[in-house]
Amino acid sequence: MGAAMRRIQAGNALTAFGIGFTVPFLYIYVAQVRDLGSMAATCAFVAFALGALVALPFTGRVIDRRGPVPVVIGAAVTASAGALSLGLSTGVVPILLSALALGAGQAVMQPALATMIVWCSTPSTRTRAFALQFFMQNLGLGIGGLLGGQIVDESRPGSFTLLFGIEAVMFLVLAGVILSVRLPHVPSIKDAVPKDPSQAGGSGWKRLLRHKAMVQLCVLGFVVFFACYGQFESGLAAFGTEAAGISPSTLGFALAANTGAIVVAQFVVLKLVEKRRRSRVIALAGLIWTVAWVIAGFSGLGHGSAMMAAGAFVTTYALFGIGEAMLSPTLAPLVADLAPEGSVGQYNSAFALVKQMALALGPLGVPLGAGVPMLYIGIFVLVSLGIAALALRLGRRLSPAQDNPWVASRVVAQGGPAVAAEKAVVQDVAQDVVGERVHA
């Protein structure tokens, strides 16, 4: 790992550490500490998501034209101002405006950081780089949440101001770290789909929507994020508390088990999946989540003891963590490998937008999880099986180099005719993209 990559990963981890201080306590802070009620707290979450949804459609073009470094710095400063303002605000309007800025800043920095990782990696090292990023993020979030829980005191609003202040400082630390990163002078994505002259016309979004493999990946990503991250703190939590009788403390332990599973299993899982086809790894994650939802359903049947229900619920979250550990070195590198040269920022931003949309719609599962629990479980069992089916279908559209870059890199390393064969694969993908534009 080069110096640039080490600094990017360190900045990522420190940012996650700062975010971990506040994420678990935002609802309590707005609704109880500032005494603004549950509706104001809900609106703060909506403002947070709205900031991301408004900013992300414009982020990709800026990254591709100006580079990711100024985008990360601008987003970090915006998020820092939003976090600090949120910690000092006492009224509804200032809190909503602060949440809007914080949400926009956090959302924009993610595709910019992902683009920096892509620029500093190769297809053969990209899988491990994104796995490390995910590991460091979860470790930072876990440690930050643990320390934040020791500092926070509902009777002292100043303790919450301190948490948001720490978060604001961590965003500024990220900006400082990124300023010190020396990226390649002429960034090029090795084995990226070549840029063709016809791409000069039309907007980046039109070109992306003509790229069938990327569209399929976005659909798959939406289902993945909706079925997993979108349910963690909404529908699945409602199911656990209402149908399974899970206590808030057990829910907190389940979330900790999810983070723990990721931290413990990430690099073990990485060794098992980095040499295998990405589409099949994603499909396997969908099957693991299918088992997780079935176990969650068992916890809500009421046939066993409260201890058994709690154990089943915690196991569900742990299995979700195993699936996440499989997806972290798979989805993000695949987005980068699908992106034509000069469009990595656009593709990363589009995928980040898909994730935010899935997270915004996640709470739609709350009424089912709380009111019709077994129907809720049945739907998400089918959704998880759908993830496996969509992944296998996507695999048929990917080139060998995109679906399994490790094998492709081994072929290239052997030289001779194999190199020409590999170049031909990449050229075929480029021609496919051009052909889609012509037929369109």
Distance (Å, rounded) from C-alpha 171 to C-alpha 174? 5
Highest mean pLDDT range out of 117-126, 392-401, 417-426, 430-439?
392-401
Q: What is the DSSP letter of 193?
A: B
Query: pTM value?
Result: 0.80
Amino acid at 41: A
Distance (Å, rounded) from C-alpha 191 to C-alpha 434? 17
Q: What is the CATH superfamily name and number for domain 201-398?
A: MFS general substrate transporter like domains (1.20.1250.20)
Highest mean pLDDT range out of 119-123, 151-155, 388-392, 424-428?
388-392
**pLDDT band at residue 427, thresholds of 50, 70 and 90?**
very low
Query: Partners of 193 in the beta sheet?
Result: 340
Query: Partners of 340 in the beta sheet?
Result: 193
Query: Within its chain, how far is the Cα of 21 from the centroid?
Result: 19
Q: Mean pLDDT across the stretch 401-425?
A: 56
Q: Which CATH code is given to the segment(s) 1-180?
A: 1.20.1250.20
Considering the chain, what is the average pLDDT of its residues? 84
pLDDT at 234 over 80: no
Domains 1-180 and 201-398 share a fold: yes
Q: Residue 114 corresponds to which tokens in the numbers above?
A: 């992902």
Q: What DSSP string runs through 281-340?
A: HHHHHHHHHHHHHHHHHHHTT--S-HHHHHHHHHHHHHHHHHHHHHHTTTHHHHHHHHSB
Q: Where are the domains of the chain?
A: 1-180, 201-398, 405-439
pLDDT at 176 over 80: yes
Distance (Å, rounded) from C-alpha 399 to C-alpha 280? 14
Distance (Å, rounded) from C-alpha 49 to C-alpha 12? 20
Q: Which residue has the tokens 């949400």?
A: 103
